[in-house]
Amino acid sequence: MLKSLKDVVEEVKRREKRTVAVAYGQDLHTLQAIEKGVKEGMFNAIVYASKAEVERIANANGIDLSLFEVVDTPDENEAIKQAVRAVREKRANVLMKGLCHTANYMRGILNKEEGLLPPGAILSHAFVLEIPTYPKLMIVSDAAVIPQPDLKMKQAMINYDVEIAHKLGIDTPKVAVIAAVETVNPKMQATVDGAILSKMNERGQIKGCVVDGPLALDLAVSKEAAEIKKIKSEVAGDADILIFPNIETGNAFYKCNTKLANATIAGIVTGTTAPAVLTSRGDSEESKFYSIAFAALIAEK
C-alpha cells in the first residue's frame, strides 16, 4: 500500500513512462513541476502554450526547455483543445491544466464531439491528501466539480474513488459518507444518502469496498471519537475515502487541511477516459507535481 505521495512518485518511476499534455502551460509553477517530473524520469510532456511566453519564463527561472516539447499555441482555448485532442488520440495519457481558467478547461473536457467524458458518465473530482496527523493517504470527493451531488452522483464518486484506492494498493478501502450527524434524519438528505449507500454496499450494489454512513467527520477519522460515542463501525476512525455532501464542505475541508494543517495534496478530475489534473492556477509547484504523479499512476497506457 502506498502510504505517502512520495511513495506514489517512486511507484511511477518504476513504471513505463506516460505522456502529459499540458493545456496552456505558461506559468512558472506548472513548468517547474513538469521539468522536475521529466528530469526524474517519471513522464514525458507536451506543452501547448505561447512559445514566446514559455521561453521568457524558462529563461528567467533556469528551466531547461530541451526536456519537453512546446507547441506554439498562444490562444488559451485553442491550447486546451489541442491538449485534449492529444489525449483523446492517445498521443498523451494524462491531461493537465496550466494557466487556463477552470471553466474553459472543463468545457474542453466536456465537449461532446472532442472531449474526454464518455456518454452517460458523471464528471467528478478527487483529491488525495497526505495529512501529517493522519496515518495514511486519504481520498476525498468532491471539492471542485459537483455542487450538490445526488444519490446517483455519490455512488459514482464512490466507484471512482474505490478504483483510485485500488491503484494505491488498498485492497478493500473504507468509505465514509459524511454528514453533520451519524443518525438518519429525513430532514437532512446527507444522512439519508449515507444510509442508502451503506445498505447498497451491504447488498452488493457497490463493490470493492466497505461503506458506512452517515458518519460525522470526527467519527470517520478518529477512533477515540467513535469509542466515546459508542459507534461500532469498520470504517469509523480508519476511513480511506471521504464522500462529502456538497462542494462547500468538500472544498472547505481541502483548504482547511492545506492552509492550516500542512497537508500535501494531489487532485484530478474523475469519470473521464483519461486522468485530467485539476489544480488551482495559484497552487504550488509541489501540489502540481504530485497531481501529475497521481494522474500518471492511474493512467492507462
21, 83 contact by CB (below 8 A): yes
The confidence score (pLDDT) of residue 85 equals 98
94, 292 contact by CB (below 8 A): yes
**Length in residues, the chain:** 301
Residues 195 and 148: their CA atoms lie apart, in Å, by 17
CATH class of 5-120+272-298: alpha beta
Q: Where are the alpha helices (DSSP H) in 89-231?
A: 102-110, 151-167, 189-202, 217-221, 223-228
Residues 21 and 100: their CA atoms lie apart, in Å, by 13
CB atoms within 10 A of CB 207: 10
33, 60 contact by CB (below 8 A): no
Backbone angles phi, psi at 73, to 5 degrees: -140, 85
SS3 285: helix
165-190 per-position pLDDT tens digit: 999 999 999 999 999 999 999 999 99
193-240 per-position pLDDT tens digit: 999 999 999 999 999 999 999 999 999 999 999 999 999 999 999 999
The three cell numbers of residue 157 are 464518486
> What's the one-letter identity of residue 135?
P
Check if CATH label 3.40.50.720 holds for domain 124-260. no
End-to-end CA distance of the chain: 22
Across the chain, mean pLDDT equals: 95
Distances (CA, A) of 112 to 78, 106, 149, 278: 16, 12, 22, 20
The predicted model scores a pTM of: 0.94
Backbone dihedral region for residue 88 (phi beyond 0: left; psi -120 to 50: alpha; all else: beta): alpha
Distances (CA, A) of 107 to 99, 101, 110: 15, 10, 5
Domain residue ranges in the chain: 5-120+272-298, 124-260
Confidence of residue 282 (pLDDT cuts 50, 70, 90): low
The confidence score (pLDDT) of residue 253 equals 96
Q: Is the peptide bond before 142 cis (omega within 30 degrees of 0)?
A: yes
Q: Report percent pLDDT > 90 for the chain.
A: 94
The three cell numbers of residue 68 are 519537453
69-107 per-position pLDDT tens digit: 999 999 999 999 999 999 999 999 999 999 999 999 999
The confidence score (pLDDT) of residue 281 equals 64
Choose among 275, 288, 267: nearest CA to 143: 267
